[in-house]
Structure 1
Amino acid sequence: MRAELVSADTAGVFHGEGAFWDDATGSVRFVDMLRGDVLTSDDASVRRSHVSDVAAVIRGRRDGGYVVAIERGFALTDENLAIVTEIPVFRERTARMNEGACDAAGRFYCGSMAYDTRADGGRMYRLDPDLSVHVVMGRVTIPNGLVWSDAGTTALHADTGEGVIWAYDFDLSTGEFGDRRPFVRFDGTKGMPDGMSIDDEGGVWVALWGGGAVHRYAPSGALDLVVTVPAMNVTSCAFGGPDRRTLYITTSRQGLADPEPHAGGLFAIQTEVAGAPVHAFGG
């Protein structure tokens, strides 16, 4: 399977990340992370909205508007992506937010990382609907791709720096992560795990940074499908469309010594399986 470029309008994206399908507008949204912009792709056109110095990941809010992880905290926006509330989380200028997702209870999680990508330089934070912030995981390096399986009792979280997708016992009633075990390990020869999505059969779709592909892993952890992408640094993937059978894929120009014509572009492919519903933030 090979993904196709959605729109040449995204050629100017430097570090595309954090794709999600916005049911409220019928469009795919993603971020140009290090430029602090949210991009909205609809009918092959792209609109760019500046939010903050860094826009790490965006999700919808149940009562309208959006939640965005910004450089050192969270922000709530209105429907037009204007910030209405900021929630500071940490002060260290050597670190930034990177990637996250919402659980079925409407809590928003995002991991931080050191700008120099040093080992164990980040943490995982949880923003509750009452806007309180909690540290739920320490000592992460490059936190990425958070999804839930097994009716929400297992959380799958990738650490790109470690080259591992970890499976955690997860308590949906409290939002706490328990014991972990490796789901898939990577040796770097075919890329490292970045953003993830999950389908309604429990298959885990993983964007491969440095791998030019998205892999689908069965619930057992066995590789069963490869989607090639004509860009090396693949960063995130998200199911969308009215039937959730279009997989949207973001890419990045960051770290490339030689320009790639489609790096930073948004790609898509039709899939036989539908994506699982994506949860909104409850605050």
Structure 2
Amino acid sequence: MSKLKKEHQFLDLSDYMRNPARVVATWFLPTPFRAITFTWLFFICGLLSCYFIVQERPFFAVLCLLLKILFDTVDGEIARLSNEPRYTGRYLDSNCDLVLNASFFYSFYLIDGSHFWLYTLSFLSLSLQCSLYNYYYVVKRAATNGDTTSRVFEFKAPKAFDYESQFWVNVLHKVYLFFYGWQDLIVHCFDSNVKGDSLSKGFLCAVSVFGLGIQLLAIIIFILLKSPLLAIVYFLGISNVYVVFLVVYRKLFYK
């Protein structure tokens, strides 16, 4: 939880790879490997996981997916340990995540052979749930002077840091806006009057179930059970009931 000051940190259930990632990041910090190296590594691991899902080899699919989750956390840790946050890294990371999430659901569709639109809706549901978690998290960070590399609305490309290219920040930002801009608007409309300083640690912990780490953990379970249809039940049904409960609870008790 290094994006928040110590007094505002909460138990993020989706951040279970943080400690192993710090160890790996410490190992690689003195080497030429930088954060973007691990961004590409997690992308490759995610694609390999999709390949093994389609080949119906669950052990290797899960192994690659766990490595994806680990490397996805390592890239941010290296950026923080080296004190070199990058907008290029943040946008590339988010864009790769969305491509992989879509690929996981497409892989489920391929082995199921039907329910294409239900898998598509499940993917969109997962994306919006992750965006809801990020929305509350960013609002909290903004209200408590935490990490500022993420914003509630990303409609304007930020000024690049001195050690990165403004050109690539602009390019990756445009892709990010295409992938996530509509999600940010929907989530904001869903709960537009939230105030970051009113969000308790307990509430943020409850919302962290929608963090990508937990969502991918659910996908791992469905892979091991060899039951892709459970992804539809979970992401379209159970998770959305929980979303409604949390937002209603937030509006009633965290005004």
Asked if TM exceeds 0.5, the reply is no
Q: Which structure's CA Rg is the greater one?
A: 2
**Which of the two has greater helix per residue?**
2
Using CA pairs under 8 Å that are at least 6 residues apart, name the structure with larger relative contact order, 1 or 2.
2
Normalising by structure 1, what TM-score?
0.27
